[in-house]
Every structure is written in C-alpha cells, then in structure tokens.
Amino acid sequence: MLNLVLFGPPGAGKGTQAHFLAQSFNLVHLSTGDLLRNEIAANTDLGKLADALISKGELVPDSVVISMIEERLKKPRSTVGFLFDGFPRTVLQAQALDKLLMKHHSKVSVMLCLMVDKKELIDRIYKRGLTSGRADDIDLATIEHRIDVYNDKTAPLISYYESQQKYYPIQGMGTIEEIAENLKHTIQSIQKKHTHHL
Ligand code: C5P
Ligand code: MG
C-alpha cells in the first residue's frame, strides 16, 4: 500500500494539495479537520466538543481523533492506500496510526512536509478566513496560537518520521501547481527507489 502522511503547519496547503494527490495516486483522502468540521456542522456531541477547541486553536484530544481514524480504517474497501491530511498531530497519534496500520498489515510509507514561512502561513490563513467562514481563520491571535501549538506538539513528528527515514521536506511556497508537481515527483522517485519496500 501507499500510505502518505501530508504534513505541515496550519496554512501550509495540506487540504489543497491532498485533493490533487489523492486523485493522482488513487488514494482515500482522510482529513481529520474535515471530519471534525462535519461533526460541527451536524451539531453532534463530538462536534460541540470539537467546536469549542478548534475555535480557540487548540487540539482535539488524541483519543477522539484516533477513534475517528480507526473507524475509517475499519471500513472494508479496496484501495491502493490512504492519504492522511492533518493527522497525526501528536507523537501519540503517530504511534496509534502505526499500530492501526499494522493491524491491517500495512504502514506509513512516507511523510511529506510542506515547508512554508511563518509570514506566508499567517497571510494564507487570514485570506482563507475571509471566505471560509472558519472561526479559527479570522482571528490573528488564534492563528498565531495554532502555529505555536504546531511547533510545540506537532513539529516533534518530524524527528519521529526522520528516524524511520520517512521524512521528506517539500518546498511549499510557489503556485499550487508547482507545489503539486514537487509532491508528485517526490512520491514517484521514492516509489522507484523503494519498489520493494512500499
Ligand atoms: O487539519 P486542519 O488544519 O483542517 O484542522 C483544523 C483544526 O482542527 C485544528 O486547528 C485543530 O483545532 C483541529 N484538529 C485537531 N486534531 C487533528 C486535526 C485537526 O485537533 N488531528
Ligand atoms: Mg486542512
């Protein structure tokens, strides 16, 4: 299987690029942010909990997002792989993902990290907020806080995957098309190099 973790700080372009990647490589796209926003829209108990945390730029507890992913992986389906977008967000989530995939006799193939300057992240998120209607996108203090949470809790995953030789930094500044090409080429060259391991 080809299981990709699309990684990067908030505003790095994970969601945008995930759509292209999922199409190009025929992967099932799992975005925990989208799943949580669906719960919010449906006004479920989980949605209410998530809304309170997301609007403040905080993370939803590990157990909650892990069971959401677990549910999705349980569904029987034939796919060449999964594209994880916005998950894992903590080391504990990464360890849980490894265990879940192991149950399915699979593993994370690569972690692709979109590299974008902080100033550009803030600009992108703020601009998105003007049209997305996302409460966590329009308040500058919340945006800054999300980046701090990323640096504090999520960035340690870089060494987690680096130690497994799965970490690939990707230039995340440029046009959407250029970045999509960067990602595609990186994955194709990894596939060529590791045909027997992926
Ligand atoms: O991934 P995305 O940026 O769309 O997520 C939006 C928000 O959802 C995050 O800022 C965070 O509050 C919440 N989230 C989370 N845990 C995840 C994914 C998203 O808490 N694994
Ligand atoms: Mg997203």
Q: Residue 23's pLDDT is what?
A: 96
Mutate to test the pocket of ligand 1, among 7, 32, 62 (most ligand atoms within 8 A of CB): 32
Q: What atom in ligand 1 is closest to the CA of residue 149? A: 10
35 CA to middle of ligand 2, Å? 10
Relative to the CA of 86, which ligand 1 atom is closest?
A: 1
Residue to probe by mutation, ligand 1, list 19, 54, 63, 137, most atoms within 8 Å of CB: 54
Residue nearest to atom 21 of ligand 1 (CA): 87
Residues 30-68: tens digit of each pLDDT: 999 999 999 999 999 999 999 999 999 999 999 999 999
Starting at the earlier edge strand, list the strands of the sheet with 110-115.
28-31, 82-85, 4-7, 110-115, 167-171
- The pair of structure tokens assigned to 78 is 């034939």
Cα 195 to middle of ligand 1, angstroms: 33
Residue pair 11/122 in contact (Cβ under 8 Å)? The answer is yes
Decide: helix, strand or coil at residue 80.
coil
Q: Is the distance from CB of 191 to CB of 24 less than 8 angstroms?
A: no
Identify which ligand lies nearest to the alpha carbon of 16. Answer: 2
Q: Count of CB atoms within 10 A of residue 55's CB?
A: 14
Residue 174 is classified by DSSP as: S
Q: How far apart are CA 54 and CA 50, in angstroms?
A: 6
Residues of the chain with pLDDT under 70: 196-198
Look up residue 175 and give its two tokens.
């046009």
| Ligand 1 environment, Cβ below 6 A | 10, 32-33, 36, 53-54, 57-60, 65, 86-87, 89, 136, 146
What 8-state DSSP symbol labels residue 150? Answer: I
Q: Is residue 10 within 8 Å of 172, Cβ to Cβ?
A: no
The pLDDT score that the predictor gives to residue 198 is 55
Residue 103: per-residue pLDDT: 94
Phi, psi of 4 (to 5 degrees): -105, 140
> Looking at residue 197, what is its pLDDT?
56
Closest ligand 1 atom to residue 31 Cα is 1
Q: What would the pLDDT profile of 59-80 be if each residue is shown by its tens digit? A: 999 999 999 999 999 987 888 9
Phi, psi (5° rounding) for residue 94? -65, -40
Q: What is the mean pLDDT of the chain?
A: 95
- Ligand 1 atom nearest the C-alpha of 88 is 21
Q: What value, to the nearest 5°, has the Cα angle with vertex 68 and ends 75 and 37? A: 115
Q: CA 143, CA 109: separation in Å to the nearest integer?
A: 30
Quick one: tokens of 4? 């990709």
CA of 22 to the centre of ligand 1 (A): 19
Query: What whole-number distance in Å separates Cα of residue 29 and Cα of residue 83?
Result: 5
Q: Assess contact for 107 and 4: CB atoms under 8 A.
A: no
| pTM attached to this predicted model | 0.95
Q: Specify which residues 110 forms β-bridges with.
A: 4
